[in-house]
Structure 1
Amino acid sequence: MSRDVAEPTAVMVRTERLLLRRVREDDADDFLTWRGRPDVVRYMYQPPWTAEVAREKLASWVTHPFRATGDVLVLAVELDGVVVGEGLLKRAPGEGQVEIGYAFHPDVAGRGLATEASGALLALAFGRFGFHRAFARIDAENTASVRVAQRLGMRLEARLVENDVRPADGVWSTELVYAVLASEHEARRRTPVVSDAP
């Protein structure tokens, strides 16, 4: 069962390289630099943002509650003080379940930032909010996101063949559902990494 906690206005998580914090209205221009790109939003099943949409979305997310099914908590992801991506927790139907998601500017791709940020999202979901199960819905063609889920120890639970049409290109896409339980995440976190290196 997820815990009822105070509104997460002051959510802030630090990782080795990143700061995840609640979005602010003045993050709109930064978010637009990736949300406005067709190559980024292709797998997000939405059209590219305009400046107006960016302002409206960020203004909404700043004050959006995180209590009921469908509520989202959106965090800006900073690298060296610059907003380079976003992380998302969305309350799913069913007690104690949460969806995680993320997006990053392509300029910072290939550096492990998505894995690092998503690991922080899982720790937040299970630790602060007490969710029982976290899952990610991923377009099967988005192999980079599949690898992130696998690195985080999430298991493939479903493959929904051609279950939705991508607005960006009108293609029927296949959705993969990856998930992990709080107990599995905790066990993995406590397991020491064994290396064969001398």
Structure 2
Amino acid sequence: MADLGSVTWPPAPIRTERLLVRGLEARDRPTVVDLNASPEVGAYIGGARPRDELERSIPEVPRDRPGQFAVDLDGTAIGVVTLDAHDGEHEASPAAGRVELGYLFLPEVWGRGYAREACAATLAWFAGVLPREPVVLTTQVANERSVRLARRLGFVEAMRFDAYGAEQWFGIRPPVRVSPPTPVTRRQVTAP
């Protein structure tokens, strides 16, 4: 099982073409509240939570732990990407003992490719620090956008199962395979 606690955290910010993927900061709290209070975001993850409850329960600096990233567009957080190292406490989950990718983005930025860009950068970072670890992803089958994104990111459907009153799609992204270097052969070059 991957130990994200052994990874230096937060890592250096990851720059993509349009985004900055970084550790969470106090300024990200309003976005974390908005994500969890949004009916659109919560549609496939158990529903929106009451805003007043979130305002009371989310600390001034949202939990900044290994595997949790803010996705920043022009200085403002638009989403969160997580790599959650499941420790096996929920043995019924196929993610037990594995690292699971998760993502939440504000509805007003959906459809612009930000989730794919941020998740791909996060997965590339992860492959650099723990190259032999596969990553898994679970989403509701009904969440077609999320299933499409998972496939674009290289996840392959491994199984479907019922949980939380809905059919779940479970995918695995195999670890990055590092090829041995190609041997360089010398050949003699002759002048024409």
TM-score normalized by the length of structure 1? 0.74
Write 1 or 2 for the structure with the bigger share of helix.
1
Quick check: 2:28–2:62 contact (8 Å CA) kept in 1? no
- 1:18-58 Cα distance to aligned partner (Å, 9 max, x none): 11111113311122223211121122225425255256445
Task: Provide the aligned length of Structure 1 versus Structure 2.
Answer: 170
> Alignment RMSD, CA only?
2.6
- Residue 38 of structure 2 is matched in structure 1 by 37
How much does 1:103 deviate?
A: 0.7
Instruction: Name the SS for the 2:63 alignment partner.
Output: helix
- 1:97-139 Cα distance to aligned partner (Å, 9 max, x none): 3100101111111111111111112112221244511011011
Distance 1:27 1:49, change over 3 A: farther
Gaps (5+ residues) in structure 2? 89-95, 180-192
Gaps (5+ residues) in structure 1? 67-72, 166-171, 188-198
- Residue 77 of structure 1 is matched in structure 2 by 71
- Residue 176 of structure 2 is matched in structure 1 by 183
Amino acid at match of 2:69: L
Instruction: Name the SS for the 2:44 alignment partner.
Output: helix
How much does 1:82 deviate?
A: 1.5
Residue 156, structure 1, aligned to residue 157, structure 2: yes
Identical pairs, percent: 29
- Residue 119 of structure 1 is matched in structure 2 by 120
- Residue 61 of structure 1 is matched in structure 2 by 63
Amino acid at match of 1:76: A
- Residue 24 of structure 2 is matched in structure 1 by 23
- Residue 86 of structure 1 is matched in structure 2 by 80
Write 1 or 2 for the structure with the bigger share of strand.
1
Amino acid at match of 2:141: A
- Residue 194 of structure 1 is matched in structure 2 by none
Quick check: 1:133–1:180 contact (8 Å CA) kept in 2? yes
Distance 1:6 1:114, change over 3 A: closer
Quick check: 1:139–1:176 contact (8 Å CA) kept in 2? yes
Residue 103, structure 1, aligned to residue 104, structure 2: yes
TM-score normalized by the length of structure 2? 0.76
